[in-house]
Each structure stands twice: as structure tokens, then as C-alpha cells.
């Protein structure tokens, strides 16, 4: 079924009796050419692009829970292409371009809203760093605009401009950044992949990898053995546990990252704001709730629930930037499991085991990377060569000394 305004009117006039499930509830087959472990945004996007762009056939996505129940539904929905280093910026710019055409490509309303992202500046040193970052963004085809304090005040007059410790002196504006309805991304990719014959198998946990003579042959699952020509692992915060099944130890730690939503308020934040003096970022959803987040919980965990000290830290940061937040009520919060690499940048690479591929280590960048991560991982699975925008995301970069230290936002608390 192709969605259209005409179809919507037709269903409205006929009692909405013609809608069908957006993807099949597939049962596992004996074997596939490609098995993607992980039914989050990255795994589903990989299957979609593998089938659509690279002619892959006999593809299965294995999800231990349900579609949309993992990190893709547990984030603050931000998309952006405002990185500094050459290893990252071309990749995230590629991702942003895919976001800009995603709804037309999928024929699905993912509520892509390029409302702009503003990184605030509180010191002369931060202004110098923002100018350097903005120039790097422009050189890589993205957009950047350096604002002074008056420019920021014209957009967000309610901010705490004259704070004694952290006065607002300007901001780096990235107009093409914005937000996307996060779970609709998973649903849209699932529907698109299903339409191209991909089997999406939910409630199917991988319990083992069958490897013989240095080659992966298939996966053991809670629903039986499934043979595979190639296996792609894309399981975010569970990366270390999954790859341990292949006796691989990754340079990754898993941490909880919490996100929060306030009660519904009248519209007053038109874009996305990030605080330069604390780890706090905020936008307002179409339903009026303020969506915001901060740092990871600074200890290793596989839990999907955070702790109160981080809640207190995030709320304090928010109120110091937007004093009016102190009068809003917090409605709900949730936690996603972040796969934090040691240099803050991801991996999209082959492993030393023939037929086994890995996509992970996304730290704070997983959601915004979804389209490009899927596209580049599909490219790697099909061709055995990295995509031109993902050549730096090698598993051996810590051994070869080619780390991508993007502002040091890795797993270690002292780097934040």
C-alpha cells in the first residue's frame, strides 16, 4: 500500500477498514544470504538499503524484542551535521542529506523538521573553537553561521544571557539541523524493507554465532539455528555482549543515557538549543513537551533506567540556561544504552572472522547517523569495501594510531 492524501481521505470515508500492518510478522527461514542482528534504526536501515540500493536478496533482520523498543525510540530525536574532523563530518553530512529526502524515499511521514540547531558560546575561547568548527562544516558542504549575542537574543530572548559565570556571548547556528520523530524512523524503514522482501523477525534473540575455520556459518537464536552467508551486527549498547559470542573484545563501554520530556507547553522554543557551559540540549515537540537530555550516567551498565544524580545535574543545567524551566513539570524520562567508544567515534568494519561485520560505537551520535550508518553498512556487506564517507571507522584504528578524537566525547568521565 502506497500512502497518499487520496488514500487517507478514502480510508476516512470508509471507516478506516482498509489499513494493513506495516510489515509482515515473518517466521525465520532455514538460511539467508544476509542476517542483520538488531532491529533498531541502524539494522533496519541496513536491510532497507541493502535490498533497495545494492540488490541484496534473502535478507533477515533479527530483533530480540520489538521494532522501535530499543535506542531508536529512546533518544532526543536530534539530527545534525556539525562535526569538526574530516573522519566524521563528511559522513554526518551524507546522513543529513539522506534525512532530507527520507520521507519521499520511504513514502512515510517521519516528521523531519529542519528547525535549526544553535550551539551557545560563553567565552572567547569557545568562539574561536566555534569559528573553526563552522569553517570545517562549510568546507565539507554543510552550513554554519556564527551569531553574536544580539543575534542569539533575537531568536531566544528568554535565555539567561547575563549569568555571572556563563554569560551568553554568541552561538554557532546550523540551520539544516533539527529533529525527526524517532520511532517513526524505525517504522518507516521496517515498512520499506518489508516491501522489498526483507524478513523482519521479532522476539528472536541471538544466543550464539556458529563459526568454523575462521568463517561464520550462521546464528543460534531463541527460535532455532539460522544459516547465513554474511552476518552484520548492529546492536548499539549490546555490542560488547553480542561480539563476545565471537570471542571478540571491543574498545567499547556501555552506559545509560537519559532523556526527558516535560508537560505540554505553548510553543516557545522554535529550534534546538545546546548549552556551551554544561551538557544540556533541548527542543520542543509538536505536542508541546520540552525534550531534553545531558550526560551519560558515568558508570558501565546495560540497564535502560538512569539514576537521580544525573537527573539532578541535567535539570540544574537546564534551569541555569532557561530559568523558566523551573516552573515546568517533568512528565517522563527514559534511558537508552549507549555503545561508547574510547575516542567518541563509531566503527563500520569487517572483523577478522570471514563473513562477520560490525556497526557500533556510536556514543551520542547514533540516531542522527541512522540513514548513513545503514547505507554504509549495507555498502560494506555487499562489496566488502568501506563506503567513501566511512573509511575512517576502522576497528583497528586504536592499534594503528588513527583515532578520531571528536572533542574527546568518549566513554571516560574525564573527557566530558
Residue 107 · residue 226 · CB < 8 Å: no
pLDDT for residue 359? 98
| Cα dihedral 172/174/175/179 (nearest 10) | -120
Give the separation between CA 240 and CA 238, rounded to whole angstroms.
6
- 10 Å Cβ neighbour count for 127? 18
Any residues with CB less than 8 A from the CB of 361 and at least 6 apart, and which? 239, 250, 251, 252, 339, 340, 341, 345, 346, 347
Looking at the DSSP bridge assignments, the partners of residue 261 are: 291, 332
Q: Where are the beta strands (DSSP E) in 68-169?
A: 78-79, 117-121, 145-148
Q: Is the dihedral of CA 328, 334, 340, 346 positive or negative?
A: negative
Give the separation between CA 140 and CA 96, rounded to whole angstroms.
12
What is the three-state SS of 198-236?
CEEECCCCEEEEEEECCEEEEEEECCEEEEEEEEEECCH
pLDDT for residue 163? 86
pLDDT for residue 278? 82
Length of the chain: 416
Closest CA to 149 of 123, 111, 131, 116: 123
Which parts of the chain register pLDDT below 70? Answer: 407-416
Give the separation between CA 389 and CA 89, rounded to whole angstroms.
9
Residue 330 · residue 300 · CB < 8 Å: no
Sheet holding 281-284, edge to edge: 145-148, 170-174, 117-121, 272-274, 281-284, 289-296, 252-264, 330-341
3-class SS of residue 15: coil
pLDDT for residue 230? 98
End-to-end CA distance of the chain: 47
Give the predicted TM-score (pTM) of the model. Answer: 0.95
Residue 234 · residue 43 · CB < 8 Å: yes
Give the separation between CA 6 and CA 17, rounded to whole angstroms.
15
Give the separation between CA 297 and CA 237, rounded to whole angstroms.
13
Residue 95 · residue 366 · CB < 8 Å: no
* Matching residue, cell 561508547: 340
pLDDT for residue 412? 62
pLDDT for residue 366? 93
Amino acid at each position: 500500500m502506497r500512502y497518499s492524501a487520496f488514500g487517507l481521505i478514502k480510508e476516512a470515508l470508509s471507516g478506516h477498514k482498509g489499513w494493513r500492518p506495516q510489515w509482515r510478522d515473518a517466521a525465520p527461514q532455514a538460511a539467508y544470504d544476509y542476517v542483520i542482528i538488531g532491529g533498531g534504526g541502524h539494522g533496519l536501515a541496513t536491510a532497507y538499503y541493502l535490498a533497495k540500493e545494492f540488490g541484496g536478496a534473502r535478507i533477515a533482520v533479527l530483533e530480540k524484542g520489538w521494532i522501535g523498543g530499543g535506542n531508536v525510540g529512546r533518544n532526543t530525536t536530534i539530527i545534525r551535521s556539525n562535526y569538526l574532523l574530516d573522519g566524521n563530518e563528511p559522513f554526518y553530512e551524507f546522513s543529513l542529506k539522506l534525512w532530507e529526502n527520507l520521507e519521499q524515499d520511504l513514502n512515510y511521514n517521519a516528521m523531519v523538521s529542519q528547525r535549526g540547531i544553535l550551539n551557545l558560546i560563553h567565552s572567547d575561547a569557545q568562539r574561536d573553537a566555534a569559528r573553526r568548527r563552522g569553517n570545517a562544516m562549510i568546507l565539507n558542504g554543510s552550513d554554519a553561521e556564527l551569531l553574536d549575542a544580539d543575534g542569539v537574543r533575537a531568536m531566544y530572548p528568554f535565555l539567561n544571557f547575563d549569568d555571572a559565570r556563563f554569560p551568553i556571548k554568541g552561538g554557532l547556528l546550523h540551520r539544516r539541523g533539527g529533529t525527526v520523530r524517532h520511532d517513526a524512523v524505525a517504522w518507516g524503514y521496517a515498512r520499506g524493507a518489508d516491501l522489498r522482501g526483507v524478513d523482519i523477525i521479532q522476539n528472536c534473540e541471538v544466543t550464539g554465532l556458529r563459526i568454523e575455520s575462521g568463517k561464520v556459518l550462521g546464528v543460534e537464536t531463541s527460535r532455532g539455528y539460522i544459516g547465513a552467508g554474511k552476518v552484520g551486527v548492529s546492536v548499539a549498547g549490546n555490542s560488547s555482549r553480542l561480539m563476545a559470542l565471537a570471542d571478540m573484545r571491543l574498545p567499547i563501554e556501555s552506559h545509560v543515557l537519559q532523556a526527558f520530556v516535560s508537560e505540554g507547553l505553548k510553543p516557545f522554543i522554535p529550534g534546538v538549543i545546546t548549552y556551551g557551559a554544561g551538557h544540556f540540549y533541548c527542543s520542543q515537540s509538536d505536542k508541546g513537551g520540552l525534550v531534553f537530555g545531558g550526560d551519560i550516567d558515568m558508570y558501565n551498565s546495560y540497564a535502560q533506567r538512569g539514576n537521580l544524580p544525573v537527573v539532578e545535574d541535567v535539570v540544574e543545567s537546564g534551569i541555569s540556561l532557561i530559568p523558566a524551566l523551573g516552573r515546568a513539570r517533568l512528565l517522563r524520562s527514559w534511558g537508552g544504552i549507549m555503545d561508547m567508544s574510547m575516542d567518541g567515534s563509531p566503527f563500520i568494519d569487517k572483523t577478522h572472522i570471514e563473513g562477520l561485520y560490525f556497526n557500533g560505537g556510536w556514543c551520542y551520535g547514533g540516531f542522527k547517523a541512522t540513514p548513513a550508518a545503514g547505507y554504509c553498512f549495507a555498502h560494506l556487506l555487499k562489496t566488502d569495501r568501506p563506503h567513501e564517507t566511512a573509511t575512517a571507522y576502522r576497528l583497528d584504528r586504536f592499534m594503528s594510531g588513527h583515532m578520531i578524537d571528536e572533542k574527546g566525547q568518549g566513554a571516560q568521565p574525564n573527557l566530558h
